Structure 1
Amino acid sequence: MPETVLVTGGSGYIGGWTVAELLSRGYRVRTTVRSRAKERAVTEAVSTVVDPAGRLDFAVADLTADAGWEAAVEGVDYVLHVAAPLGVTGGAGTGNNPDALVAPARDGALRVLRAATAAGVRRVVMTSAANAASPSSYATEGVTDETLWTDPDDPTLIPYRRAKTLAEMAAWDFMDTYRGPTEFTTVLPGAVFGPVLTADTGGSVGIVARMLSGAMPGVPRIGLEIVDVRDLVDLHLRAMTSPAAAGERFLGTGEFAWMADMARILREGLGDAGRRVPTRQLPDIAVRLAARFRDPALREITPALGRRNRHTTAKAESLLAWHRRPLPETLLTCATSLLTHQATPTPH
């Protein structure tokens, strides 16, 4: 019998691709949704990549509530906890209350771990964020690895970064006191781009969608470590099955690119389809003034202006033989996929 994997949040961008790839590799998959109404959308999205018939089922469970998690983990071999509670996506507009996002992120992770360890699953792989292994906001340069932990008490942290850090810390603290067969691993991605399964896609992909639409007057001086969603899913699956991955953190970032570099790749690679992509770089002062007086959502990105902090993925490459696609391939595949789906940016 094929092994069964529980994927939390199958309706999400990473979750949907995780479900599709697991099915493509022959696994049986169960995925959580917040309501039965989402089952059809997930099935249709996954069906654009692989036939899920007979090997995909659903469990209704919400990261903010206890109900449903015992049933969700029943009979599964592995758990891939890739879901984030509503609002904990890292995009602008996630809120300015430094504590509002912590409880759902942290408590959701602990609900998954309690259910998984009680059921004795083999391993849980949790999606954290590279932002949980980054220096303080005032640092503008440097390369870091998994041994660094973001300081959750840094007053300049945006709510998303603090929530992801505290959630992963709580998960490791829980596993440090656990005595049983379940193993634990975390994956820390950068900015996730690549093809979309549906038109209803937000998160990092919304940046490319806004560029294509011409909605951006220019690009801020912000850099991203871009990883292809397909490569990120592959890293999760390697972390799920490799004996060397037990008890480890793995950074899953990609090539660093300023948004101006992204714009250039899109303009040059898409031809006429990229004609609306902005090429003008906005002065930092203009972005800060807009954040202060016109668009409060921009306040979450201002700490990143001019920062070129990078992460090394040497650990994932050496222990798990992981590799990544070239940056232009990821960006152009993302853009053409968005154009095909006629996707629009998620409003913030």
Structure 2
Amino acid sequence: MESLHNNQLVLVTGGTGFVAIHTILQLLQKGYQVRTTLRSLSRKDEILNMLTNAGLSSFENLDFIATDLLQDTNWDDAVKDCDYVLHIASPIFLKVPQHEDEMIRPAVEGTIRVLKAARNAGVKRVVMTSNFGAVGYSHRDPTRLITEKSWTDPNEKGLSAYNKSKILAERAAWDFIKSQGGNLELSVINPTAILGPSFTDKLSSGFGLLKSMLDGSMKQIPNIELAIVDVRDLADLHIRAMESPKANGERFLALSGGTMTLPEITEFLKKEMPEVSQKISNKKVADWVIRFMALFNPKAKAIAPLLGVNRKASNAKAKRILEWKPRTNQEAILATVSSLIKYNAL
């Protein structure tokens, strides 16, 4: 059967990433031609192995190109003949940079580099991955759900360099479209904490939190509230935002709906997966203790800004406009733990 999409080419940036690999898988399953960027083609086998683990057997509709968000090289070739670009890649830092500009500049410049190349190549639409940090961290009223109308103030006290880089990169993207975008369309996805199944033992950052709870290395459970999205639904939302005429010029919060605190997650896991939950700590830690410890303890300092953040956000827009039907928080958590077990991470 002829596929509906087999003459449409989609560029996915940052192919080895957790969200990107799920997006590539779903695009290929839908019959799209896919090109993906890597910082080095030596990592091509990682992508093929992950897709094989995901059950894919044919790679004839997939090709690769080496690019770097910090350099112009190859971007014109990367976007050549593309109908759409899903800009999922974000500059990676193995350690927190000395100065936040080291993280912000590449994020902003990389985004503009992709948008310029896409515009010049006549791409129809770019769908960009931002995050919840660009939307909800300045929203103070816990009685009102956070929506896509909210923006985080980049000067918000305690904001991480990573979240600041996401805000400024997304702002730069909208400004570029307005002033220099030509016919290029833009949609933006703002995910919350990303969980779900992994296709590799190189587990993404969201797994670290659950792993540290389950293996007992988190000695006390802080009262942090999480909004969660399953990576499979996040990939699906990127594709819906790419395909739907209604998504042009819109941003979409990506979350299952509702929040869970870490103590609630631990109770859920003890009930649903008792066989891997024996090491979970029964001790909870008060917010003030973490704030005090943050003065001299790096781990506490990393957690402190997450305390008291209101994550009660609405996913109504994505459901209404794009007919998105996300899995529950619980399904995403169970899929994550299953991957931790599968790859012997516990």
TM-score of the pair, normalised by structure 1: 0.92
On the 8 A contact 2:129/2:188 being kept in 1, the answer is yes
Instruction: Give the stretch that moved more between structures: 319-328 or 150-159.
Output: 150-159
Residues 137-286 of structure 1 aligned to structure 2 (within 5 Å): 142-254=144-256, 255-286=258-289
Indicate how the Cα distance of structure 1 residues 142 and 161 shifts in structure 2: closer, same or farther if over 3 A, else same.
farther
2:66 aligned residue (60, 64, 76): 60
Letter in 2 for 1:23: L
Q: Is the 8 A contact 1:194 1:331 kept in 2?
A: yes
SS in 1 for 2:101: coil
Say if 1:118 and 1:9 are closer, same or farther in 2 by CA, change over 3 A: same
- Does the Cα contact within 8 Å between 2:133 and 2:166 map onto a contact in 1? yes
Does structure 2 retain, via aligned residues, the 8 Å contact 1:32–1:72? yes
Asked if residue 291 in structure 1 is aligned to residue 294 in structure 2, the reply is yes
The residue identity in structure 2 corresponding to 1:185 is S
> CA offset at residue 246 of structure 1?
0.6
Alignment correspondent of 2:3 = none
Q: Which range moved further: 253-262 or 30-39?
A: 253-262
| Matching residue of 2:81 | 75
User: How far off is 1:51 after superposition?
Assistant: 2.3
1:43 and 2:48 matched: yes
Q: Give the count of matched residue pairs.
A: 339
CA distance in 1, matches of 2:139, 2:303: 11
> 1: distance between equivalents of 2:181 and 2:292?
52
State the Cα deviation string for residues 100-143 of structure 1 (Å, max 9, x = none). 31101111111111111111111100000111111428666642
Q: Distance in 1 between matches of 2:290 and 2:336?
A: 26
Shift of 1:41: 0.6
- Per the alignment, in what secondary structure is the counterpart of residue 308 of structure 1? coil
Q: Deviations over 1:252-304 (max 9, x none)?
A: 1233110111111222111212222233221223322332223x243233122
2:305 is the counterpart of 1:300: no
Would the aligned equivalents of 2:255 and 2:326 in 1 still touch at CA under 8 Å?
Answer: no
% identical aligned pairs:
37
Structure 1 stretch 157-166 or stretch 282-291: which is displaced more?
Answer: 282-291
> Post-superposition shift, 1:326?
1.4
Pick one of 9, 14, 23 that aligns with 2:14.
9
CA distance in 2, matches of 1:289, 1:247: 43
Partner Cα distance (1:95, 1:138) in 2: 29
Alignment check: 8 A CA contact 2:215 2:280 kept: yes
**Aligned partners of 1:211 and 1:97: how far apart in 2?**
31
Structure 2: gaps (5+ residues): 1-5
Amino acid in structure 1 at the alignment position of 2:39? R
Q: What is the Cα-based RMSD across aligned positions, in Å? A: 1.9
Distance 2:78 2:148 in 1: 30
Shift of residue 150, structure 1, vs aligned partner? 1.1
Deviations 1:180-235 (A, max 9, x none): 33211000000000011101022212211222222110211111100000011111
Summarize deviations over 1:142-172 as a string: whole Å, max 9, x none: 4211111111122432212211100000000
Distance in 2 between the 1:96 and 1:285 partners? Answer: 27
CA distance 1:287–1:7, shift in 2 (3 Å):
same
